[in-house]
Amino acid sequence: MPISTQSHDSGTPGKSRPRRLLLCLDGVPHAVIQSAKERGLFDAFGAPSRLLSPFPTMTNIALAAMMGATPPPGYESLYFDTTAKEIRGGIKKYIGVRTPDKIPSSYMDELDYQEPLAFEFLIYVAPEKIWRADMRRFRDCFRKAPQNRDYFAFLKGTDGLLHIRGPQSLAVALESLDKILREIQAFCGEETEIVLFSDHGMNLRENHRAPLKAHLQRHGFTFHGNLTKGNHRSLAIPAFGLCGYAALYCGQEEAKADLADALIDLEGLDFSIYRDGDQAIVVSGPGGRARVEKKVNGGVKYRYVAVDNDPLQLLPVITALREKSEVDEEGFVSDNAWLIETAEHTYPDAPANLFKSLHSERVKNTADVLVSFRDGYYYGWSPFARFVRLAATHGNALQPSSNAFLMSTHRTLPRYVRADDAESLLRA
């Protein structure tokens, strides 16, 4: 059972308030940690909250939101610079040591432990060796650290293990981690609160590459690393990790709607989204087309307009909200009411989450069109895909990838928490 120790907002760790170990497990879904607890692991922790990861469900985006840190340049280390209008970054970000240009967000400056830079790539080549070394190194570094301050660690090995080996191998790793955390609790005593969380979830199934480029070529689009002279059919699509989303950049902004129409019959597509003015996005896919609109009048509100069918499966939700008198005369619903009603939906917190993915600075270089693939499909770097069998991945807006987790040894946490609202719980 969790230790019922009151936490305080200020003071010296271990004296006027509990010391905290913040430990992030890359890519571990809520469902997996819930299953681990049912097997008797992590029994010192309270029930895991659903930590709703922002779309696209990627590490740097999620942790920047959770820690109130600076947004990364792009969705991954290979990204499109919208000012220079060219693709930048890539594999060189994983070579050598971490220099300032290899730190995508300020949350990394706060890390007391993360794996050596080269291991970020090697985890996808030799996952068993890397995760074991990663956990041992974390344990040893933590024990050597000063005992009178908080400690923030990030274990990336869990993500690679799930990608390449799947949930059964991760179960073994979690058993090892449980033993390490028990050692830490015995070493530190009850004054140390452990906050265990993840950055995003994962779909736990084998995935296949979506034929994105071939499909768009058939529709007359061309692909370039530089769009300074781009035309209506010119696109830049950074392809790096093997993930369930894609970020598309247009040579001309007015091409967004045509691009979204061309994507509708793409194999593996769930939906695409693009900005439509300052207060709306358009959602389109095989399931139909809709708009998500925002207004600020007595608080933030969103309206879901099903133009053609219901691509986000939200019409039943709206019916339920009407029965609760949560829908105003214009069809808008408060942000909080949407959150309460959709936190455990197929697309968790979809109106706010998808709207913010294009209308807030989740990355410095926001895509013109974002694609969310169905579970079982991914897009990414072709050479990497040739020697990796992908047993699981993340990136899309569906529940398995969106549901990260958050739990504490000392506190009972809310049933669900948005990434944007997690900072106060992680730093409290």
Report yes or no on whether pTM surpasses 0.75. yes
Does residue 7 carry a pLDDT above 60?
A: no
CATH number of 19-70+105-205+401-427: 3.40.720.10
The two beta strands, 269-275 and 369-373, are antiparallel
Mean pLDDT, all residues of the chain: 92
Does residue 261 carry a pLDDT above 60?
A: yes
Q: What share of the chain is helix, strand, coil (3-state, %, to 5)?
A: 35, 25, 40
Between 148-152, 199-203, 246-250, 338-342, the lowest mean confidence (pLDDT) is in 148-152
CA 20 to chain centre: 23
**What's the whole-number mean pLDDT along residues 389-409?**
96
Whether the CB-CB separation of 139 and 183 falls below 8 Å is answered with yes
The token pair at 173 is 């790793």
Backbone φ and ψ of 301, nearest 5°:
-135, 150
DSSP state of 413: P
Q: DSSP string spanning 147-186?
A: TTS-EEEEE-HHHHHHHHH-HHHHHHHHHHHHHHHHHHHH
User: Coil, helix or strand for 64?
Assistant: helix
- In which region does residue 350 sit, left (phi positive, over 0), alpha (psi from -120 to 50) or beta (all else)? alpha
**What's the whole-number mean pLDDT along residues 75-100?**
85
Q: Where are the domains of the chain?
A: 19-70+105-205+401-427, 208-386
Query: pLDDT digits over 339-388, tens only?
Result: 999 999 999 999 999 999 999 999 999 999 999 999 999 999 877 667 67
CB atoms within 10 A of CB 252: 14
**What's the whole-number mean pLDDT along residues 166-172?**
92
pLDDT at 244: 98
CA distance 357 to 80: 16
Which residues, other chains included, contact 425 with Cβ-Cβ below 8 Å and sequence gap of 6+? 195, 406, 411, 413, 417
pLDDT at 191: 85
pLDDT at 11: 64
CA distance 28 to 256: 34
Whether the CB-CB separation of 249 and 236 falls below 8 Å is answered with yes
